Homo-oligomer: A and B are copies of this chain.
Amino acid sequence: MIQDVQETKKTPHGPVSVIELARLLGVSHATVSFVLNGKAKKYKISDATAERVMAAAKKHNCIPNHHARNLRSRKSGVLGVLVTRLTMDWAETLMQGIQQVIDDTEYVPFIATHQFDTERNRKELRSALERRDEGLVVFPLPDCEDLYHSISSAGVPLVLIGEELPGLESISSVVWDSEKAAAAAVQHLVDLGRKRIAFLGIDYPGLGTLHRFKAYCQTLKNNGLELRQEWISRISVTRRDDHVTRVVNNWFTGDPQDAPDAVFALNDVLGLSLMTELTVRGMSVPEDVAVIGLGDLPLSRYPAIGLSTVAEPIKAMGVEAARLILDLISGKADLPQRRVLQSAEVIARSSTIGAKWQIPRTGLGVL
């Protein structure tokens, strides 16, 4: 008797399969499958049976095996999202956009990071292929072009996000037109009267990266300003020992008249690092050096930081990428598509205009 009770209590023991549930109910497992997949109507299952199945599924904690389902139906229902890192809230913002779109669907995102590491990238992409992800949203890495092409030509919808790489023009992408943003940012420094404007970048060969640099050169030229090679510096994204410290030492050791009075940073991460380094050296921003970045990370908005920048429409990029992937999967779109988002308004904060910055009254919204 006591044992019986224990048996009963142990009911939720290991996910019950569709087959077991069918046996429990005395119906065919096809019937259960139909009901569970919302195809009761289609296969003319009686309402009574359908409800009985649903109730039993809940009661016995029936959880269909995703792999079996996928194997048979040839749909995994997963969208791979492969980004660089989960830092600085970039991925979170992107995912908000992606989630917003796929919440109405059956798709689930699989988030992974490559950390700017080619090997990791290849490994993660391979995993995605093994999983038969139905679509991939990736921040592209050099030296993996072959893989992207083979994925794409294998018929797996692929969308490059955040950056583009030369040679991948035949692959869909969702990017921010950061060239205009870069031009606006540099012009902002010029308008502030800065004459010795330096460039802080990375050694990543992306098109966006290139365009931002081009806009920097062009804007200096348009304003008749000097373009000095020693004021153009790039940090390695792969070498873990390369830091902004090195660049700052180069720029600001020696004659102050030869040092930059403003820096255009390729992105906010670099801008933030730079501001930190300058602070550590006892220099004042923007008095000694004005700094502007690109991206408008949540961090940049902090009253204590106030990094001037241009907002990257990250969430909108997520939305676009998700929509594009969904269209690509459903066949509503045919590749390649290139969706370019605009945003070039300078957000002037204390790193360029100093105390004139009006700290917004609205909180950070985090928590």
**A residues 265-294 in Cβ contact with B at 8 Å:** 269-270, 272-273, 275-277, 279-280
- Most chain B CB within 10 A, of A71, A76, A237, is at A71
What is the bound-complex CA distance between A270 and B269, given in angstroms?
A: 23
Q: Are B87 and A95 in contact (CB under 8 A)?
A: no
- Asked if A339 is at the interface of the complex by the 8 Å CB criterion, the answer is no
- Asked if A132 is at the interface of the complex by the 8 Å CB criterion, the answer is yes
Q: How far is the CB of A285 from chain B (nearest CB, A)?
A: 9
Q: Are B65 and A130 in contact (CB under 8 A)?
A: yes
Contact A276:B363 (CB < 8 A) given known A67-B70, A71-B67, A132-B66? yes
Instruction: Of the listed stretches A134-142, A149-157, A314-322, name the one at the interface; the rest are far from the partner chain.
Output: A149-157
Q: Are A363 and B243 in contact (CB under 8 A)?
A: yes
**A residues 108-148 in Cβ contact with B at 8 Å:** 108-113, 126-127, 129-132
Q: Are B245 and A359 in contact (CB under 8 A)?
A: no
A154 / chain B contacts, CB cutoff of 8 Å: 12-15, 61
Q: Are A276 and B305 in contact (CB under 8 A)?
A: no
Interface of A is mostly: mixed
Q: Are B15 and A129 in contact (CB under 8 A)?
A: yes
A280 / chain B contacts, CB cutoff of 8 Å: 303, 359, 361, 363
Q: Which of B108, B235, B302 makes the CB contact (< 8 A) with A305?
A: B302
- Asked if A86 is at the interface of the complex by the 8 Å CB criterion, the answer is yes
Q: List 22 A-B contacts (CB under 8 A).
A: A10-B153, A12-B150, A13-B153, A15-B132, A15-B154, A61-B154, A65-B71, A65-B130, A65-B132, A67-B67, A86-B89, A88-B366, A272-B364, A273-B366, A276-B302, A276-B364, A277-B363, A279-B303, A299-B299, A299-B302, A304-B304, A304-B305
